[in-house]
Amino acid sequence: MTRDAAIRRAIDHYDSGAFLEVLRRRVKRRTVSQEAGQVPELLAYLTEEITPDIERLGFTAEIVPNTRPEFSPFLIAERHERNGLPTVLIYGHGDTVRGEEPQWRNGLAPWDVTVEGDRWYGRGTADNKGQHSINISALEQVLLAREGRLGCNTKLLIEMGEETGSPGLTALCEQNREALSADLLIASDGPRLSSERPTVFLGSRGIYNFELELNLREGTYHSGNWGGLLRNPGTVLANAIASLVDARGRILVERLRPPPIPSAVATALSDLKVGGGPNDPPIDSEWGEPGLSNEERVFAWNSIEVLAFKTGNPDAPQGAIPGRAKATLQLRFVIGTDWQNLIAIVREHLDDHGFSIVTVQPTRDEVLIATRLDPEDPWVGWILQSIAETTDKKPALIPNLGGSIPNHVFAEVLGMPTLWVPHSYPGCSQHAPNEHLLGSVVREGLAMMAGVFWDLGEKGTSILAKRKHSGRRHVLVGSS
């Protein structure tokens, strides 16, 4: 059999309706990880849905308990063909956000797949059941086309807690390094740059949430009797925030700004265009770091966002001076940022600017560390060439996603190069009512992933030799 035959099988899998039936079955499972008491349903997705399908493909599957027993276990599976072959780790997550049934458009339901033209509606279609199902199905078609052989070793990791911050994932990888060791990660999450353009991204920005708070006094005091005499915590905190980030979104704390954009990253971003899609918001051209393109601002620079700000009673304001104010801020950061010392850096900055009465502390949210595979890594050129050959399109290369995913556990804990090939698009309503996939992207995704897995079996060994010969450190993590 040939590469073209494997791709044809993947397209037939779509055209016959077989893939849609697989996805319908998986979407019906209400795998909401954001609600208590869901572990049995989350576990059933692994044991009753994924395990039987991959065991048919020759995988040996194991359910591994979570070190945090209140959260769902993980699925680790392996299909070993022969020593000396390249090994790929495929990752996905089967949990979803809440269904939000009443908010879906009439005629749609979160736990059923409804097809309207090119749109496949349903919770988890885009994030992430549809995406990891595309990869597993493409792998199956290559296996059938090669008559039971892939030409590589394959491992699979499915978690059921990504939507709650991947609790226990880091510990799982630390404790199962050998079981999860591989030459590279190939995974799918997040959106393409646009629905028309296949995309590869190599990591993600990091994320660190922190709180500023000012607690001056108990109770409130009449603003007519005491206005001009009592310090207003809302006013003070607003000015403290303004000392961190200015009115156009530029970061004013030098140590929270990233290093200069590497030339290879700038070159990759020069080929991209963010926004302009049917559901995309209009971009504020005067927002963010001056002198950068929109693409550089979101993919290669840091941002500080105010996520929440509360003082007084916003729903029923009174003519009174509040006693306290609190704000939650977020730093999105690229590699090279001193995120480990963020709290100390903000503390020093506030003190230097006369805000010593404002407290700063991290939230309870887990920090996601910034990662970026070197765009010049041989694996990058390989996968771009493979996708271009299958689709006759030039793929978009994003050095790192503007959002944040748990890529650091693969890049840092497991120490492997990471390639992400998303099968969604920016207007998919991910995490919102009316979430959907595009059938055209699914069809193209099945074809190009069949090409990727075929090419891994054909060329993976030579890529490993090329990387070894180069002797370069290609995986960049955190403050590298």
H, E, C per residue of 375-441: CCCHHHHHHHHHHHHHHCCCCEEECCECCCCCCHHHHHHCCCCEEECCCECCCCCCCCCCCEEEHHH
Q: What is the pLDDT of residues 34-68, one digit of tens each?
A: 999 999 999 999 999 999 999 999 999 999 999 99
How many helices (H) and strands (E) in the chain? 15, 20
Percentage of the chain modeled with pLDDT above 70:
98
Helix (H) or strand (E) holding 120: strand 119-121
Map out the domains of the chain as residue ranges: 3-204+370-477, 208-257+302-362
In this prediction the pTM is 0.91
Alpha carbons 306 and 304: distance in angstroms, whole number: 7
The pLDDT of residue 366 is 81
Name the token pair of 405: 């995913």
The pLDDT of residue 469 is 82
- Quickly list DSSP for 260-309: PPPHHHHHHHTT-----STTPPPP-TT-SSTT--HHHHHHSS-EEEEEEE
| CA nearest neighbour of 337 among 165, 212, 238, 205 | 205
Fold equal for 3-204+370-477 and 208-257+302-362: no
Q: CB count, 10 Å around CB of 225?
A: 11
When the pLDDT of each residue in the chain is averaged and rounded to a whole number, the result is 95
Q: What is the pLDDT of residues 223-237, one digit of tens each?
A: 999 999 999 999 999
Q: What is the pLDDT of residues 89-139, one digit of tens each?
A: 999 999 999 999 999 999 999 999 999 999 999 999 999 999 999 999 999
The pLDDT of residue 458 is 96
Omega before 128 cis (within 30°)?
yes
Burial of 63 (0-12, 13-18, 19+ CB in 10 A): middle
Please answer whether residues 332 and 305 qualify as being in contact, where contact means their C-beta atoms are separated by less than 8 angstroms. yes
Looking at domain 208-257+302-362, which CATH architecture does it have? 2-Layer Sandwich (3.30)
Coil, strand or helix at 32: strand
Coil, strand or helix at 330: strand
The pLDDT of residue 364 is 86
Please answer whether residues 384 and 346 qualify as being in contact, where contact means their C-beta atoms are separated by less than 8 angstroms. no
The pLDDT of residue 471 is 67
Task: Tell me which of 168-177, 278-287, 412-421 is least confident.
Answer: 278-287
Name the token pair of 363: 């939230």
Helix (H) or strand (E) holding 154: strand 153-159
What is the residue type of 403? G
Question: pLDDT category, 476, cuts 50, 70, 90?
Answer: low
The pLDDT of residue 478 is 59
Going by DSSP bridges, is the β-strand pair 184-187/87-93 parallel, antiparallel, or unpaired? parallel
Question: pLDDT category, 403, cuts 50, 70, 90?
Answer: confident
Please answer whether residues 354 and 239 qualify as being in contact, where contact means their C-beta atoms are separated by less than 8 angstroms. no
Q: What is the mean pLDDT of residues 283-304?
A: 96
Question: pLDDT category, 445, cuts 50, 70, 90?
Answer: very high
The CATH code of domain 3-204+370-477 reads 3.40.630.10
Q: What is the pLDDT of residues 204-213, one digit of tens each?
A: 999 999 999 9
Q: What is the mean pLDDT of residues 413-439?
A: 96
| CA nearest neighbour of 111 among 57, 188, 31 | 31
Going by DSSP bridges, is the β-strand pair 119-121/114-116 parallel, antiparallel, or unpaired? antiparallel
> In which order are the strands placed within the sheet that holds 324-333?
303-311, 324-333, 206-215, 359-362
Alpha carbons 114 and 105: distance in angstroms, whole number: 11
Going by DSSP bridges, is the β-strand pair 324-333/371-373 parallel, antiparallel, or unpaired? unpaired
Please answer whether residues 379 and 186 qualify as being in contact, where contact means their C-beta atoms are separated by less than 8 angstroms. no
The residue length of the chain stands at 480
| CA nearest neighbour of 260 among 315, 300, 308 | 300
Alpha carbons 290 and 250: distance in angstroms, whole number: 8
Please answer whether residues 97 and 400 qualify as being in contact, where contact means their C-beta atoms are separated by less than 8 angstroms. no
Helix (H) or strand (E) holding 373: strand 371-373
- 184, 186, 191, 192 alpha-carbon torsion, rounded to 10°: 80
